[in-house]
Amino acid sequence: MAATSPASRAALLASFTVLALATAGLLAPLKAAAQSSPAPSRPRQDDAHPWLGVAMETDSIGPGVRVGHVVRRSPADLAGIRSGDRLLRVAGTTVGRGAEVVQAVAEFAVGDAVDISYVRAGVEQVAHVTLAIYPSPDDMMRMDLVGAQAPMWRDIEVVSGMFPPSLAALRGHVVLIDFWATWCGPCRIVAPKLAALQARYGAEGLTVLGLSTEGTQEVASFALRTPLRYAVAIDRHAETTRSYGVASLPTLVVIDKRGVVREVSVGYDPMGDAHLEDTVRTLLAEPGP
């Protein structure tokens, strides 16, 4: 069970286009995630949407469409496309907006090889991309994050508790980041469970952190009414939220003592409570860096 809303989606994706992940029908999986639990199952090959794996920004500076983020191990990543590149053409079709990239990719099928022209450092290049099947939100975030160093947070405003200035300050701790919102029903279910984990394992090295893209007043007021018992901060321009690839709430990211992402969970599934606690206990038992 995950939650999204038009207002929160704008805050979550900020400067990204709504069709950020360059795949036909992205909004349908997001809507499904908002209404059901667990995450949508992988579609059959014959009715699957082709997936490129990039998030695109809405800036109008320069030609083409600027790539804001490339999902790790996605077709775009494997073909060598990187954040900051500007997509010019998809299979010869000129693109100037994110929606045009989506439309061009949608003309193909999963497994098709597509030439994508882009500019990097003023030099035009061509990437030969083999489109993949659109993954579930959980699978997409796991591809992007699990096994990699966790993105650093920036432009954070502390609302309550001892929210550390950087992830580096938590080396040697197991970190559980909860991307949440006050309006999110599933988030309200998850919060006391996270508070219980913090109380149970905090002395052993667990640090639970809550991060919201809402305004300070909303989050501070909620924190006063509902003590969260762990540190909460505002992601003022959604930069950290974007860097983690968050598009549904709640999203939980578990980071080990070395700063490596070890688990990701999108939405709330009561059957996952035991797994989350087992993950925390396993990581706490590992040696520090």
Nearest partner of 265 among 32, 26, 39, 97, judged by Cα: 39
- Looking at the fold, whether 110 and 147 belong to one and the same domain comes out as no
Expressed as residue numbers, the domain containing 117 is 43-133
Nearest partner of 167 among 223, 220, 231, 213, judged by Cα: 231
Residue 29 lies in a domain: no
- Looking at the fold, whether 161 and 125 belong to one and the same domain comes out as no
Quote the percentage of the chain above a pLDDT of 70.
Answer: 83
Question: Which of 71, 98, 133 is where one domain is finished?
Answer: 133
Rounded Cα–Cα distance for residues 56 and 71 (Å): 11
Provide Rg for the chain, Cα atoms.
19
Residue 37 lies in a domain: no
pLDDT digits (tens, 9 = 90+) for 75-105: 999 999 999 999 999 999 999 999 999 999 9
pLDDT band at 152 (very low <50, low <70, confident <90, very high): very high
Q: 113-120 and 86-90 as β-strands: parallel, antiparallel, unpaired?
A: antiparallel
pLDDT digits (tens, 9 = 90+) for 129-140: 999 999 987 898
- Looking at the fold, whether 94 and 153 belong to one and the same domain comes out as no
pLDDT band at 28 (very low <50, low <70, confident <90, very high): very low
Segment 268-284 mean pLDDT: 95
Q: What domain count does the chain have?
A: 2
Residue 9 lies in a domain: no
Residue 24 lies in a domain: no
Q: What angle do CA 250, 253, 259 make, to 5 degrees?
A: 160
Q: Which residues lie closer than 8 Å to 218 by C-beta, 6 or more apart?
A: 182
Secondary structure class of 6 (helix, strand, coil): helix
Question: Which of 83, 98, 133 is where one domain is finished?
Answer: 133
Nearest partner of 205 among 175, 168, 177, judged by Cα: 175
Residue 34 lies in a domain: no
260 burial type by CB count under 10 A (0-12 exposed, 13-18 middle, 19+ buried): middle
Question: Which of 113, 133, 153 is where one domain is finished?
Answer: 133
- Looking at the fold, whether 143 and 101 belong to one and the same domain comes out as no
pLDDT band at 32 (very low <50, low <70, confident <90, very high): very low
Residue 153 is part of a domain; what is its CATH number? 3.40.30.10
- Looking at the fold, whether 128 and 186 belong to one and the same domain comes out as no
- Looking at the fold, whether 224 and 109 belong to one and the same domain comes out as no
- Looking at the fold, whether 123 and 177 belong to one and the same domain comes out as no
Phi first, then psi: give them for residue 27, nearest 5 degrees: -65, -30
pTM (predicted TM-score) = 0.77
Tokens in use for 72? 């790790």
Q: Would you list the DSSP string of 166-206?
A: -GGGGTTSEEEEEE--TT-HHHHHHHHHHHHHHHHHGGGTE
pLDDT greater at residue 47 or residue 262: 262
Q: Are 5 and 214 in contact (CB under 8 A)?
A: no
Q: What is the maximal distance between C-alpha atoms in the chain?
A: 58
